Amino acid sequence: MKHFDVIIVGGGLAGLTAAIHLAKAGHQVAVFEKKPYPHHKVCGEYVSNEVLPYLRRLGVDLNDFGAVAIDQLKFSTANGAVLEVRLPLGGTGISRYALDHLLYQRAVACGVFFAFEAVVSIEFEKSIFKLVTEKGSSYTSNIVIGAYGKRNVLDKQLDRKFIRQKSSWLAVKAHYQVEGFPGNQVGLHNFKGGYGGLSKTESGAVNFCYLTSYDSFRKEKDIGQFNANVVSGNPFLRDFLADALPLFEQPLTIAQISFHPKQPVENHILMCGDTAGLIHPLCGNGMAMAVHSAKIASELIDAFLRQGLRRKAMERAYRTTWNRTFRKRLWAGRQLQGLLLHPTLSERAIAYIVKWPWLLKRMIRFTHGKPIH
């Protein structure tokens, strides 16, 4: 049975970032990920610039790989009212296909061990974790990081509270070829029962990722019909879809997305990224939050392994720091979603913001953090 200092379950942004950080600190790290790299994931593919200095410190500079600089937000309501505003901090457009692969290659170069198989159980006993994979292999570690995404069979095994609550959201993502789409712009566009984001990636493709309720989606036969009959109710999105050439054979989807509060520590496992808490995509900050949460966890784990920080103190510090850093953003995301999905309120909000654009900038700042180093 192979033993590691740290095992990370999930090889997305949070898992890969933590793996690089901890391996650079001299620890033996293993990452368990279901699928080999590279592969696409359902994601907005917009990274807030707040995490770029930290990624550079880990040896990953997105500017070296053709990432797109974004400094403008275009917002439209379901009825077609449009507003444009300059982003206070700005962001970077890069696909998960490219970014995850870059981080994976960096992690391998740092000596991280990868196993491309799912973990089906995690047990903690006498200060040691035991993990069992779908292939029946067993591993042990001093620390486990949960970074397996929005929803996983492990959530049931760990009896996490949120998994027992109803989740009524579906996400759809695809890449498109579109002539003349501005590279420096990220779009946020409402439609009846949902909203979607548009931004350019390093390949030149435009990523369109939207979130919708089951109540809205189930009235249509499939994604094509839903796009034609519901998403295209927004005039801006109607024009976009009419001009766009799909680059995927079929859109990617994720069902049962939950925005219910989660605990950042469960059964002594430190949860990172979407596994710890999911911010509404309209806030455009989920990728940065994943990276930042990995940084917080990695620094405390390093203190635990190297400096003798007690486990209780490490878990308490992570829980406190995570809540202080992200809880207000998650709350703001829920409030903002409620506002923008209400047709009357969103139209009124646009009317106010047109008169006072600083209101939108303030809302953006409230859902984003400051640059981390």
pTM: 0.92
pLDDT (mean) for 45-69: 94
Q: What is the 3-state secondary structure (H, E, C) of 164-208?
A: HCCCCEEEEEEEEECCCCCCCEEEEEEECCEEEEEEECCCCCEEE
Q: How far is CA 342 from CA 44, 79, 336, 337, in A?
A: 22, 12, 10, 9
2-166+257-367 has which CATH code?
Answer: 3.50.50.60
Residue 260: which pLDDT band, with cuts at 50, 70 and 90? confident
**pLDDT tens sequence across 7-38:** 999 999 999 999 999 999 999 999 999 999 99
Q: What is the pLDDT of residue 364?
A: 62
pLDDT at 284 over 70: no
Could you tell me the residue ranges of all domains in the chain? 2-166+257-367
- Burial tier of 356 (Cβ tally within 10 Å: 0-12, 13-18, 19+): exposed
Only one residue has tokens 């350019």, namely 200
User: What's the CA gap between 246 and 223, in Å, rounded?
Assistant: 13
Please tell me the least confidently modeled range out of 155-164, 196-205, 361-370. 361-370
Please tell me the least confidently modeled range out of 64-78, 127-141, 170-184. 64-78
Q: What is the pLDDT of residue 144?
A: 98
